Amino acid sequence: MSPQHGTRPSGHGGGRPRRRDRTEPGPDRAPAVVDRDELRADCSSCFGLCCVALPFARSADFARDKPAGRACGHLRDDFGCGIHARLRDEGYRGCTVFDCFGAGQKVSQVTFGGTDWRRDPASASAMFAVFPVMRQLHELLAYTAEALALPAARPVHRELRRALARIEKLTRGDAESVVALDVNALRGEVNPLLLRASELTRARVPGKRKDHRGADLMGARLSGADLRGASLRGALLVGADLTGADLRDADLIGADLRDADLSGADLTGALFLTGAQLTAARGDAATTLPPSLGRPAHWAREGSAGVVADA
Ligand code: SF4
């Protein structure tokens, strides 16, 4: 995991009204229980937790080592990032590809009631222990909410809705109960539902659908490939050439897209694709994205070879 403020929507000082976007009611018409805006990072409501709680190691993604529980030297007193606009240029690319799925504001404002770790140092270690667990819970919530929005997944909407309500309730527990959770077991219960939702949705894609689940496709030449409706769940696509590939309705949950070239690819309807995955990849103005995801800023100034053109 790697902390970032690069994709912070209201980013450390800025603030803009956000459209409310609730999970759609399922066939049982039960009320929605999760506001999907709460599953997007709102750094203006967070105490910079990803920049303190998580460790990172000096590498291509981070310019320095930092142990867990120690604040990054670039974290400002107001919990903003002092190099927010220059993260990639300063060697902190890892910060730009991390997504807390709204866990930061949940821990800061709900679990700890708005009291930050600087004002109450005694709470710091508990806060930092809760954050990575909450991040996993919120990631599960985000995937579950997305599955609930898939019309073809109606046969599992009721179970998904129950799972969503249960996880949401767990996120509202106290610090001790959150830290004690067995998130892997929870993931094991939810994953079959997400898989079923994916299968039901991709079954509507005509023709034979490729199954690359968990495949090692590092550096693979997949330019122009027909991957429509394919399963790429957990696939290793680091550095893969996906230029012009047809990835419509492909399941990309957990796929590692670091430095994959998505220039000209069509990702319309791609399932469980996150902004962090796109930020880790390369692409261009011709890449077609799902409407819920924005085009990473660095795509505009880097060519498909990943070289900064206008530095
Ligand atoms: S450089 Fe430091 S303060 Fe800035 S986003 Fe990364 S971890 Fe946070």
Q: What is the pLDDT of residues 3-52, one digit of tens each?
A: 444 333 333 333 333 333 444 444 444 445 688 889 999 999 999 999 99
Interval between CA 45 and ligand 1 midpoint (Å): 16
Residue of the CA atom closest to atom 4 of ligand 1: 81
Q: What is the pLDDT of residues 229-258, one digit of tens each?
A: 999 999 999 999 999 999 999 999 999 999
The CATH architecture one would assign to domain 209-303 is 3 Solenoid (2.160)
Cβ contact 131:107 at 8 Å: yes
Cβ contact 135:105 at 8 Å: no
Q: Is the CB of 272 under 6 A from ligand 1?
A: no
Q: What is the pLDDT of residues 168-189, one digit of tens each?
A: 999 999 999 999 999 999 999 9
Question: Given the CA of residue 87, which atom of ligand 1 is nearest to it?
Answer: 1
* 309 DSSP 8-state letter: S
Assign 60 a pLDDT band (cuts: 50, 70, 90).
very high
The mean pLDDT of 94-112, rounded to a whole number, is: 96
Cβ contact 9:46 at 8 Å: no
Q: Is the CB of 75 under 6 A from ligand 1?
A: yes
The mean pLDDT of 124-149, rounded to a whole number, is: 97
Assign 113 a pLDDT band (cuts: 50, 70, 90).
very high
Q: What is the pLDDT of residues 286-297, one digit of tens each?
A: 999 999 999 998
Q: Is the CB of 225 under 6 A from ligand 1?
A: no
Interval between CA 3 and ligand 1 midpoint (Å): 6
User: What is the pLDDT at residue 303?
Assistant: 55
Question: Given the CA of residue 95, which atom of ligand 1 is nearest to it?
Answer: 6
The mean pLDDT of 68-83, rounded to a whole number, is: 96
Torsion of CA 116, 119, 125, 127, to 10 degrees: -10
Give 77's contacts (C-beta < 8 A, 6+ positions apart).
none
| Helix 183-202 × helix 157-171 angle, to 10° | 150
Nearest to 253 by CA among 150, 154, 169: 150
Look at residue 266 and tell me whether its pLDDT is greater than 50. yes
Interval between CA 102 and ligand 1 midpoint (Å): 17
Q: Is the CB of 81 under 6 A from ligand 1?
A: yes
The mean pLDDT of 97-107, rounded to a whole number, is: 96
Query: Where are the chain's structural domains?
Result: 36-202, 209-303
Phi, psi of 282 (to 5 degrees): -115, 160
- What pTM did the predictor assign? 0.87
Strand partners, 216: 236
| Helix 183-202 × helix 124-148 angle, to 10° | 20
Phi, psi of 261 (to 5 degrees): -100, 110
Interval between CA 1 and ligand 1 midpoint (Å): 13
Residue of the CA atom closest to atom 7 of ligand 1: 51
Question: Ligand 1: which of 2, 5, 93 to mutate, most ligand atoms within 8 Å of CB?
Answer: 5
Rounded Cα–Cα distance for residues 176 and 159 (Å): 27
Give 298's contacts (C-beta < 8 A, 6+ positions apart).
88, 96, 279
The mean pLDDT of 153-163, rounded to a whole number, is: 97
Rounded Cα–Cα distance for residues 147 and 201 (Å): 9
Six token digits for residue 237: 């696509």
